[in-house]
Amino acid sequence: MSKLYYPTPDELQGAKPLWEGGWGCDDNRGSWFHIYQELLVRLANTDYGRDLLCIDKLPYPVIAVRKNMIQFDLSRDLGPGYALADVRTGVRWGDLIRYRWLAVKKALDQMNLRILLELPKYIIHEGRSIPILKGAVETAFYPDAHSESATVDGDLTHLANNVTWSDLYDGPADAVDDSAALVDLILDSDAVSNRWDFLSRAFILFDTSALTADATITAGTFEFVIVQRSDDFSERMVLVASDPNSNTALQADDWTDVGSASMANRPLIGSYTVDSDTYNAMTLNSDPGLGYISKTSITKFGLRMNSDNDNSPPSWSGDGRSHLGMASADTDLGSDKRLKLVLTYTLPFTPTVIMF
């Protein structure tokens, strides 16, 4: 069979090195180490791979390989989330892979072949071709800025005054905003005991039709830059499904067009970074999160405070507020600060096999 081929950074760029990414803890998306991360990790978890890459033979699996860092998973002994990073100055593993490129390339071929052999067996149609998988692709999707062409982002607010929790929760929306620089989630209490003033719900839509029906989604994050925050009620933001009447404009009677099933983890909003620059992320769960993504049309998300989502008021305090103001598609911070949905997926293809 034809050998699988992994061009060197120089070959990929026509004698211009492919970007290797920053330090081991930085964002390496798009780098050589990111493109071949799955194969590198597989190789690093074999005895031959650890010898080839000069990786310490600790009794823990390798979960990341960077140009200057190897990361080990310690969750077996210390619990979920614990890891050990072997970080070196310079670009130790980048230089090592260059120096041993022919051996590394051959080993990566072997790792890729193992992946293919692990796929379900297919019958070769007329002896000509066999479906296999492309490598994983990571793509970011954004709502449209105003005026929208396919997708909208924005919020609805019930501007109540001195009402019960039930009246606050039931709405209706009194204010609709789908063209401001911020998407806001707000929960405000009144000065009168156990009475409430404001509640917001947000709608974030993404055109994910570029995935196509054949895509297999393996991971996803909802990411956002926070400009404003207050949190007197220790709230959590919840990513849910939504179904507004229009994909390109919000209206007051969309108030009830939000779900309650959580699509992602729900950290305390007090744990997020607030600097008008740094992306925070919520990791989509498998079900319903990743399964909810539309591969051929519009993916419609909503955002709610957890007290609203669970229909359970927080402990009241007078004139309290929990609020997140996130950079919208109409932000004046720049297009790279917009709300976004980042998906990792694979697509099938049918290569030609020449039979001798």
Task: Give the residue extent of every domain in the chain.
Answer: 9-118, 139-345
pLDDT at position 13 is 45
Token pair in block for residue 111 = 């790792």
Position 8 scores a pLDDT of 53
**d(C-alpha 210, C-alpha 343), whole Å:** 11
CA distance 263 to 167: 26
Q: What is the pLDDT of residues 154-202, one digit of tens each?
A: 999 999 999 999 999 999 999 999 999 999 999 999 999 999 999 999 9
Neighbours of 355 (CB within 10 A): 7
27 has pLDDT over 60: no
Average model confidence (pLDDT) across the chain: 85
What mean pLDDT is predicted for residues 287-298? 96
242: DSSP letter = B
Distance (Å, rounded) from C-alpha 203 to C-alpha 185?
10
pLDDT at 85: 85
Neighbouring residues of 98: CB distance < 8 A, sequence distance ≥ 6: none
pLDDT for 275? 95
CA 294 – CA 10 distance, rounded (Å): 37
Least-confidence region, from 13-17, 85-89, 306-310: 13-17
Place of tokens 């998407």: 183
pLDDT-derived band of residue 75, with 50, 70 and 90 as boundaries? confident
At residue 236, the pLDDT reads 97
Structure tokens at 26: 């930085």
Tell me what pLDDT residue 29 has: 52
More confident residue, 183 or 38: 183
Nearest Cα to Cα of residue 328 among 160, 117, 72, 143: 143
pLDDT in tens, 101-150: 899 888 888 888 877 776 655 445 554 445 555 567 889 999 999 999 99
86 pLDDT tier (thresholds 50, 70, 90): confident
pLDDT top residue among 93 and 11: 93
* 221 bridge partner residues: 283, 342
Q: Which residues contact 176 (CB under 8 A, 6 or more apart)?
A: 154, 156, 250, 251, 252
Work out the average pLDDT over 286-314: 96
Tokens matching residue 327: 């950079």
pLDDT at 354: 38
CB 283 within 8 A of CB 221: yes
